[in-house]
Amino acid sequence: MKKKIAILGSTGSIGKNLINILKNDKKNFEVVLLSTNKNYKELLNQAKIFNVKNLIINNKNVFNKVKLKTNLQKINIFNNFSKIDDIFDKRIDYVMSAITGIDGLVPTLKIIQHTKNIAIANKEAIICGWPLIKKKLDYFSTNFYPVDSEHFSIWYALNNHSSQKIEKLFITASGGSLLNVSQKSLKDLKLKDVLKHPNWKMGKKITIDSSTMMNKVFEVIEAKNIFSMLYKDISILIHPSSYVHAIVKFNNGMTKIIVHDTTMKVPIFNTIYSKTEKKLKSNKLNLDKLNNLNFTKVDLKKFPLVKILKILPKKCSLFETVLVATNDELVNLYLNNKIKYTDISHNFFKIINLNEFKKYKKIKIKKVESVLELNDYVRFKINSISI
């Protein structure tokens, strides 16, 4: 019997990677739902390949365009995720949640009850709404797989053992496009130079987050949430080649170093085939890289945003939503040439230290509406003040 799966955000990089994997194994999978925000051409192509009966196009204008100009028979096209309960008459086998940004939180929460297994690639959902996600995972007995290469590596290293056995976690960072650029040169950087990531092909937003190391701050928060850790037990190591993705030191004296090629295909493949004997063709072990791992500590003067980890509350709070929204808006301002590169970190600390935002460190995450409302307000605030 074919396994039924759904892909939220199927036209993004994670979704496309999964689609490419499934193309070689169509006999074993039935894709029952695909979604996109605007890329309807890619979505319709994917639907044709897998004969998908349910599509969600979240952008209203694009949705209306497709409904008017496309003659699709026997395909249900929805404009949002409000009808998601009507799509599934029973639980499916697997969901990939790969919608970008805070927009992925609600769909992730909605679909958990309809699947036996969910792989989550949406970091904002895990950062801003983990207590809500964890509650649903537990209630519906849904298995969870982290997709980020670092968190998947930690999960793989645990091999179903309790995270209480972990003494120390090390998450690696390439250092991004600016690792070898002097601190004095940062203020005069051109956008095209910031967007030249040495190892990964990524979108503009995440490439900038990599250059500021904000992506690693978020990954530490994710690791703390997923594995029930303390911030003091998680460290970031600069590792330029991105060959080692995580190091896990256990409290029995053993340490595991998880290595894989710089491709998201590896963690994605292993989430969907985790309980099978399916093999993935990969490159041979790279001894040159293993002999030159070149680990170093993070230079906090060059990457000041990493200092945020020292001021975060121990337990999940709405303050993490402030962080995500603030970073999103500042990066957007930079991409639109409204602030300089060095203004990102300077203004970040200025905004999150406002009294009206610091109070959220003590407020627990109880409902998704609180996260969404705060996210909108932070963005509005940033665009209404002079920075």
Beta carbons of 52 and 74 less than 8 angstroms apart: no
Q: Say which CATH architecture domain 313-387 belongs to.
A: Orthogonal Bundle (1.10)
- Alpha helices (H) in the chain, listed in sequence order: 13-23, 40-50, 60-69, 84-87, 105-111, 123-139, 149-158, 191-194, 204-212, 214-226, 265-272, 287-290, 319-335, 341-352, 355-358, 368-384
Q: How far apart are CA 350 and CA 80, in angstroms?
A: 36
| Class at the top of the CATH hierarchy for domain 3-147 | alpha beta
Q: How far apart are CA 131 and CA 225, in angstroms?
A: 8
pLDDT digits (tens, 9 = 90+) for 124-148: 999 999 999 999 999 999 999 999 9
What phi, psi does 238 have (nearest 5°)?
-75, 130
Q: How far apart are CA 283 and CA 267, in angstroms?
A: 15
Domain ranges of the chain: 3-147, 149-310, 313-387
Spatial neighbors of 239 by CB under 8 A, at least 6 apart, are 172, 173, 174, 293, 294, 295
Beta carbons of 38 and 66 less than 8 angstroms apart: no
pLDDT digits (tens, 9 = 90+) for 17-60: 999 999 999 999 999 999 999 999 999 999 999 999 999 999 99
SS3 258: strand
Pairing mode of beta strands 244-250, 255-259: antiparallel
The pLDDT assigned to 193 comes to 80
Q: How far apart are CA 3 and CA 32, in angstroms?
A: 10
Beta carbons of 234 and 172 less than 8 angstroms apart: no
Cα-based distances in Å from 108 to 148, 216, 227, 269, 298: 16, 22, 19, 20, 33
Beta carbons of 51 and 29 less than 8 angstroms apart: no
Residue ranges for the chain with pLDDT beneath 50: none
pTM of the model: 0.94
The pLDDT assigned to 71 comes to 67
